[in-house]
Structure 1
Amino acid sequence: MFPRGTVYKSGYPSYGEITLGASLKTKIAYTLARGIGAGLIGFAVISIIFTLGPVVKEEVLYDLGFKKFQVPYSQADLAKADSIVQVQKEAAIYGVGSYFSVIVPKIGAYSDIVANVDASDEKEYLSALEKGVAHAKGTYFPGQGENIFLFSHSTDSPVNIARYNAVFYLLGKLETGDKIIVFFADKKYEYRVEEKKVVAANDTSWLTNKGQGERLILQTCDPPGTTWKRLLVIAKPVRVDPFD
C-alpha cells in the first residue's frame, strides 16, 4: 500500500508567524492599568509643582531682585529719629556734640568728653584734658546704672586754663538741686546735684565704688589751682531721653 497526499514539498520557508489574540477582559484590564499608571505619574508631577513651585518662585524672584525692597519706617522709628535730631540740635546750641558731652548750666561749663581715659596714666589724662573733660576708664556711661566719673582741671592759671580747658573751675559753686546735663549716644540725660565732698588727692575709691545705683560724679582739684585735694560733686539722674 502506498501513502496518499503530499509527502514533501520544496519552496516553503523554514519559519512561520503566530498571531495571538487577547481576550476582551485582558484588553480592558491592560487599558485600565495604563490609565491608572498615567494618572499616578500625573498626580506626582502636580504634587511636586504645588510643593516646590512657591519655593522656586521665591528663589527666582529674589535672584532677579524683585524681593529687595525698603521696609517702611514705623511711627515709633520716625518719632525716635525726630528725637535724635532734636537732641543733636540742642547739643549744638551749647557748642558740643551729642555723642558724649557735659553741660553745667549754672556755671556756664560745657565740654565734649573724652571717653575711657586712664586716670592713673598722667600722660594719657593730660592729653585728654587738652581736648575736654575726661571720662575715667573702668567707670560706666549714662543709662548703665552705675557710677559715671568725669574729671577736669580747675587751675587758676590763665595759661593752664587755655591749655587744659578747665571747664570745672567753678564747680565748687554748685549746690543741691542744681542741674547737670549729659549728652550720650544721641540721648539727653539730666542729673540733679545731691551732695559735694572734698577728699584726699589719692582717694580713688570713687572710681571703683559700685552698687549704689547710677550716679554722676564730677571731680576737680581743690582749692582751684592746687593739687592738694579733690572736690567731688555727686548727682543722681532725674530724666533720660524716652527712646531707648
Structure 2
Amino acid sequence: MSQKPTRIISTLFLFAGVLLLASAVFPIALSHLRFLLYPNPRLLDPTATSGRPATFVVNALGLASIDYTLATSWFENAPSSPSPPPSKVTHFSLSIPRLQMQDVTVEVNGTDLKQNAIHYPGTVLPGSYGNTVVFGHSSLPQLYRPGYPLTIFNPLPKAQVGDEVIVKYDGITYRYVIKKTQEVRPNQIEVLTQHYDRYQLTLITCVPLGTYWRRFVATAELVN
C-alpha cells in the first residue's frame, strides 16, 4: 500500500513534465507550420516611385550559431554604415501602450542586448528622416518578465496595425503608428532599408519566441 502514493506522485510529476515540455514546443511548432503554409511574399522596395534610391545598412541577418545577445552578431559581414548625427543623448525610451510595454530603455548605437533594447548603429535617430531601427531580445513565453532585457520584446509579436508607439528622445515625445507587421526570413533585409523621404520606425525581434529562426518586424510611421 505504501508504494501506491509514490506511484501516483511519480505519475503526476511525469504528467506535469510532459505538459511543461508541450507548452514550450507546441507554440514554436505551430508558428513554424503557419509560416510554411502561409509564407510572406518577397518584400518590395516601396521607394520605387519616390525618385530617391534606398540605402541598405546591412548585408545579412546571419544564420550562424553565434551570440545573438550582441547586436553586431545579428548582421554578419555588415558593411560600414554612415553614423547617425552626433547626439549627447545615449538612451531614449519606447512604449507600446496596448501591449503594456512601458518606457523600454533603448541604447543609442548599442550592441549588447543583454543590457537593454538597442538602436541599431548606422540608422537614423528618432525624429529624423529615415528608418530608426530598434532591436529587442525575446525568449520563451514562460520566461517573460516585464523590463527584463532578455525578454524585453516578448510582447512585440502581438503588435497590430494601428497600435501607437511612443518614443521619448532628447526631451521630445514622438508618436508613431504601426502601419505593417510581418515575419521575414533572415535573408530578407529590405526591412532595414533607409527611406529618407519619410519618418519611419522599425522594431525587430526573433520568432518564434525562444528561437532565432525568423524576424518579427513592426513598421511604424511618425504621425506627430
Structure-1 separation of matches of 2:97 and 2:148: 22
- Structure 1 unaligned spans of 5+: 1-96, 118-124, 240-244
What's the offset of the Cα at 1:203? Answer: 3.1
Instruction: State yes or no: 1:183 paired with 2:183.
Output: no
Q: Is the 8 A contact 1:177 1:194 kept in 2?
A: yes
What's the offset of the Cα at 1:155? Answer: 0.8
Q: Is the 8 A contact 1:139 1:208 kept in 2?
A: no
The residue aligned with 1:134 is 118
1:84-122 per-residue CA deviation (whole Å, 9 max, x = no partner) reads xxxxxxxxxxxxx995111111111131111113xxxxx
Length, aligned pairs only: 134
- Structure 2 unaligned spans of 5+: 1-88
Structure-1 separation of matches of 2:204 and 2:91: 21
Instruction: State yes or no: 1:100 paired with 2:92.
Output: yes
Secondary structure of 2:129's aligned partner? coil
Instruction: Decide which structure has greater helix share.
Output: 1
The residue aligned with 2:107 is 114
Report sequence identity in percent.
28
Structure-1 separation of matches of 2:114 and 2:195: 29
Secondary structure of 1:172's aligned partner? helix
Find 1:153's aligned residue among 124, 130, 137. 137
Q: Which has the higher contact order (CA 8 A, sep 6+)?
A: 2
Structure-2 separation of matches of 1:160 and 1:204: 27
TM-score of the two chains, using structure 1 as the length reference? 0.50
CA 1:101–1:149: 2 relative to 1, 3 Å:
same
What's the offset of the Cα at 1:197? Answer: 1.6
What's the offset of the Cα at 1:133? Answer: 0.9
Q: Is the 8 A contact 1:138 1:207 kept in 2?
A: no
After superposition, the CA RMSD in angstroms is 2.4
Bigger CA radius of gyration: 1
Structure-1 separation of matches of 2:194 and 2:178: 18
Structure-2 separation of matches of 1:228 and 1:148: 23
